[in-house]
């Protein structure tokens, strides 16, 4: 699987490969050396842990050569040959379903929150997803107390809909 690199005004949004995610888990120096990505400290971003990384690796493995439908790194581009700094993670929970729906998620390291990075990165991912054949809808879920996350979704034109995946979870959608 080849990595996809999206550029925004301030960010490099880089799709993870299974090898990159394994390097994140097992050998962060390899992630920097081989892929030119250094993780911000502290890492991982909120609501991410070893279990979520293991899940991400399983999704990436299942995708085969279909890049982009798993995890992505939200990075500040490196300067003067320095590695990019991953300040958060985002991505999709797999391929579009039969109705053309994909689910997106995101999290940014606390030090880099409230600067518009999540909105910028997720906006790029949504544009990428809608450019893929058959994608008609992007959904996202968050908790009502995550005010910043609610702001990201509203800023990007999502609207709240019924059907959160569990009690207390809010679901949002954006149509093509």
Strand-strand pairing, 101-108 and 84-92? antiparallel
Give mean pLDDT, residues 123-147.
Answer: 97
Domains of the chain: 5-175 (3.40.630.30)
- The pLDDT of residue 48: 94
- pLDDT tens profile 146-171: 999 999 999 999 999 999 999 999 99
- pLDDT tens profile 75-128: 999 999 999 999 999 999 999 999 999 999 999 999 999 999 999 999 999 999
- pLDDT tens profile 20-54: 999 999 999 999 999 999 999 999 999 999 999 99
Max intra-chain CA distance, the chain: 48
| Angstrom distance (rounded) from CA 126 to CA 19 | 24
Residue 8 contacts residue 118 (beta carbons within 8 Å): no
pTM: 0.96
161 closest CA partner among 175, 173, 144: 173
Helix (H) or strand (E) holding 25: helix 18-26
- The pLDDT of residue 45: 96
- The pLDDT of residue 103: 98
| Residues contacting 128, CB < 8 A, separation 6+ | 4, 6, 68
Across the chain, mean pLDDT equals 97
Q: Is the pLDDT of residue 1 over 90?
A: no
- The pLDDT of residue 9: 97
Q: Is 142 helix (H, G, I), strand (E, B) or coil?
A: strand
């Amino acid at each position: 699987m080849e990595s996809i690199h999206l550029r925004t005004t301030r960010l490099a949004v880089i799709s993870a490969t299974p090898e990159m995610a394994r390097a994140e888990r097992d050998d962060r120096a390899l992630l920097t050396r081989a892929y030119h990505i250094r993780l911000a400290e502290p890492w991982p971003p909120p609501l991410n842990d070893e279990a979520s990384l293991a899940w991400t690796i399983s999704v990436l493995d299942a995708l085969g050569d279909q890049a982009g439908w798993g995890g992505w790194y939200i990075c500040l581009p490196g300067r003067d040959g320095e590695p990019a700094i991953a300040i958060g993670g985002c991505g999709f929970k797999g391929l579009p379903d039969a109705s053309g729906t994909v689910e997106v998620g995101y999290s940014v390291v606390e030090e880099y929150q409230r600067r518009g990075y999540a909105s910028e990165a997720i906006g790029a991912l949504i544009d990428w997803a809608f450019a893929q054949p058959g994608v008609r809808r992007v959904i996202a879920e968050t908790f009502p107390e995550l005010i910043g996350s609610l702001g990201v979704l509203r800023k990007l034109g999502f609207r709240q809909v019924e059907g959160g995946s569990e009690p207390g979870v809010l679901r949002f959608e954006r149509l093509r």
